[in-house]
């Protein structure tokens, strides 16, 4: 009996971190063959050439360079066009039985389109979510309509996928993939972590991760400057920055981070990519994640730490009690950070539960994509 060929596509460091344990499960299963295609930010110098980290763990079947040298709207459209064409050839060559896609990035819209036109079933992870401040929202729902198996992270998200017309028999609430990392990784001690980043933690510590807000009239750089102004007012606080993704205007934010760290070398440090182990390990020692990254909502609550969630980028997502929403203004961000250190909020953190579950998503997904009957799966009807 031939192995079922499962093609997993990854374009960013964060996405790879979420996919890691699922890829391990597929790779180690005798009934499955992992086909790994790496693209996007993984192949870029300025984002840390993270494909090198992937190669330490997995065999990469194809590298697809989609030219991320320009993060303007025109540049991203060009990258999407390159990806659409290139993945058509990749799928024709690899002939996978299924393509696995996570999330909502523009690269994955091209991947899904190529797989759909190639008549290859698509398994979509983390569908049904809302992020009203970015065009990722429309991309995520579009991928849902092109996909055949769905693995949302909560029951509410499962219901939304069904609301989009997908058959409930093909929609599985498996919980958040990020929880598996927290459970399965052997996290660093404080001393190991400090040594790994060549940076000492302080009495107070914040992890800042801010990405472009693609549907806002106010520019991402303006919002990020408001955040930097708020950080200027802090005392006895060390700050770790992780740089932005390859979204529209992401490079502007990254240059602002570089300049800020150069001006504040004693208490700040920045990384193009921390890697999954260091990033998750860092959460143990932070008072809060500050910015607008999904990790502040999906993973930070499992460490009973605060998240200062700025602006609309994550608006619509389910949130634990540890999330403090604020407007992208210096005053609002300052007030939110001050709240983190209040006695009342610290008590709230003690009883936080993560709405994205307790782990096990990777095994659950692997078992379903291994056993689900694929005959006639491409023939979809709208579920009323």
Q: 116 and 252: one domain?
A: no
Share of the chain above pLDDT 90, in %: 79
Indicate if the alpha-carbon torsion angle 42, 46, 47, 52 is positive or negative: positive
Confidence (pTM): 0.83
3-state secondary structure of 117: helix
Q: 170 and 193: one domain?
A: no
How does pLDDT run across 226-248, given as a tens digit for each residue?
999 999 999 999 999 999 876 66
How does pLDDT run across 22-41, given as a tens digit for each residue?
999 999 999 999 999 999 98
Q: 8 and 125: one domain?
A: yes
How does pLDDT run across 79-111, given as a tens digit for each residue?
999 999 999 999 999 999 999 999 899 999 999
69-76: long-range contacts, CB 8 A cutoff, minimum separation 24: 71/246, 71/247, 71/248, 71/249, 71/250, 71/251, 72/248, 73/248, 76/106, 76/247, 76/248
Q: How many Å apart are CA 102 and CA 39, to the nearest integer?
A: 13
Would residue 132 count as lying in a domain?
yes
Candidates 324, 378, 332; CA nearest to 352 is: 324
Domain of residue 338 covers: 188-350
Q: 150 and 233: one domain?
A: no
Give the N- to C-terminal CA distance of the chain in Å, as an integer: 37
3-state secondary structure of 99: strand
- CATH number for the domain harbouring residue 91: 3.40.50.2000
pLDDT tops 90 at residue 135:
no
Distances (CA, A) of 216 to 55, 131, 133, 235, 242: 37, 12, 7, 31, 22
Which of the four pLDDT bands, split at 50, 70 and 90, describes residue 46?
A: confident
Q: 145 and 126: one domain?
A: yes
pLDDT tops 90 at residue 362:
yes
38, 62 Cβ separation under 8 angstroms: yes
pLDDT tops 70 at residue 133:
no
Q: 87 and 57: one domain?
A: yes
Which of the four pLDDT bands, split at 50, 70 and 90, describes residue 45?
A: confident
Report the length, in residues, of the chain.
384
Q: 103 and 149: one domain?
A: yes
Q: 253 and 108: one domain?
A: no
| Residue-level pLDDT at 214 | 63
Candidates 50, 30, 28, 31; CA nearest to 41 is: 50
Which of the four pLDDT bands, split at 50, 70 and 90, describes residue 58?
A: very high
192, 198 Cβ separation under 8 angstroms: no
Q: 71 and 206: one domain?
A: no
């Amino acid at each position: 009996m031939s192995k079922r060929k499962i093609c997993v596509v990854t374009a960013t460091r964060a996405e790879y971190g979420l996919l890691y344990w699922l890829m391990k499960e597929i790779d180690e299963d005798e009934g499955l063959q992992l086909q790994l295609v790496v693209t996007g930010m993984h192949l870029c110098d300025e984002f840390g050439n993270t494909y090198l980290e992937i190669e330490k763990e997995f065999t990469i079947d194809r590298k697809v360079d989609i030219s991320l040298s320009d993060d303007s709207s025109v540049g991203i459209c060009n990258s999407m066009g390159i990806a659409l064409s290139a993945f058509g050839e990749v799928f024709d060559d690899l002939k996978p039985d299924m393509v696995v896609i996570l999330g909502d990035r523009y690269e994955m819209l091209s991947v899904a389109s190529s797989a759909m036109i190639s008549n290859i079933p698509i398994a979509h992870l983390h569908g049904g979510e809302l992020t009203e401040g970015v065009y990722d929202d429309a991309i995520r729902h579009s991928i849902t309509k092109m996909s055949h198996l769905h693995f949302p992270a909560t029951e509410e998200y499962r219901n939304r996928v069904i609301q989009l017309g997908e058959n409930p028999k093909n929609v599985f609430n498996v919980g958040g993939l990020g929880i598996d990392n927290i459970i399965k990784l052997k996290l660093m001690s404080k001393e190991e972590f400090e040594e790994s980043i060549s940076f000492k933690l302080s009495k107070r510590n914040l992890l800042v991760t801010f990405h472009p807000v693609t549907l806002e009239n106010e520019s991402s750089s303006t919002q990020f400057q408001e955040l930097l102004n708020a950080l200027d007012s802090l005392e006895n606080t060390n700050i770790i920055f992780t740089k932005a993704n390859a979204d529209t205007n992401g490079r502007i934010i990254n240059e602002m981070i570089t300049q800020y760290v150069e001006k504040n070398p004693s208490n700040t440090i920045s990384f193009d990519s921390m890697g999954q182990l260091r990033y998750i390990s860092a959460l143990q020692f932070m008072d809060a994640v500050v910015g607008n990254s999904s990790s502040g909502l999906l993973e930070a609550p499992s460490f009973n730490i605060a998240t200062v969630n700025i602006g609309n980028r994550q608006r619509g997502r389910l949130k634990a009690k540890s999330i403090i929403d604020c407007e992208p203004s210096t005053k609002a961000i300052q007030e939110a950070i001050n709240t983190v250190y209040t006695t009342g909020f610290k008590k709230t953190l003690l009883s936080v539960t993560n709405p994205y579950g307790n782990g096990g998503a990777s095994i659950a997904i692997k078992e379903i994509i291994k056993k689900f009957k694929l005959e006639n799966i491409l023939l979809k009807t709208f579920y009323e």
